[in-house]
Amino acid sequence: KAGVTQTPRYLIKTRGQQVTLSCSPISGHRSVSWYQQTPGQGLQFLFEYFSETQRNKGNFPGRFSGRQFSNSRSEMNVSTLELGDSALYLCASSLAGTGEPQHFGDGTRLSIL
């Protein structure tokens, strides 16, 4: 059974640009969550999508947004990139969210120059 797939694995951008990251959940999983991981702040929750609707949101500025498609695939967008956005962005999926264990992809490493 294929795991959570995130593309691209690595991305280099400059300040002010925008970026879109993609996540394909495990087949049958309808909940997709996004996290930002940095050495200083650890794993921080960005948002969760279920059935194409954002169900929960963390404490990140509006420059961070996401969406989910009817096939449960999800994208995350960051606009007006800042140096501090450099991080590993992880996507996790579960059958229906609401307390079920989440299964993570290997992440997209975003570097801002």
Partner 1 sequence: GQQLNQSPQSMFIQEGEDVSMNCTSSSIFNTWLWYKQDPGEGPVLLIALYKAGELTSNGRLTAQFGITRKDSFLNISASIPSDVGIYFCAGLNYGQNFVFGPGTRLSVLP
- Binding footprint of partner 1 on the chain (CB under 8 A): 4, 6, 33, 35, 42-45, 48, 56, 58, 90, 92, 98-99, 101-107
Shortest gap between Cβ of 55 and partner 1 (angstroms)? 9
Q: Using alpha carbons, list the distances in angstroms from residue 43 to 16, 40, 71, 113.
A: 24, 9, 26, 22
For partner 1, give the closer residue by CB, 6 or 72.
6
For partner 1, give the closer residue by CB, 76 or 90.
90
Radius of gyration for the alpha carbons in the chain, expressed in angstroms and rounded: 13
Shortest gap between Cβ of 16 and partner 1 (angstroms)? 28
What amino acid is encoded at 24 in this protein?
S
Bridge partners, residue 24, by sequence: 5
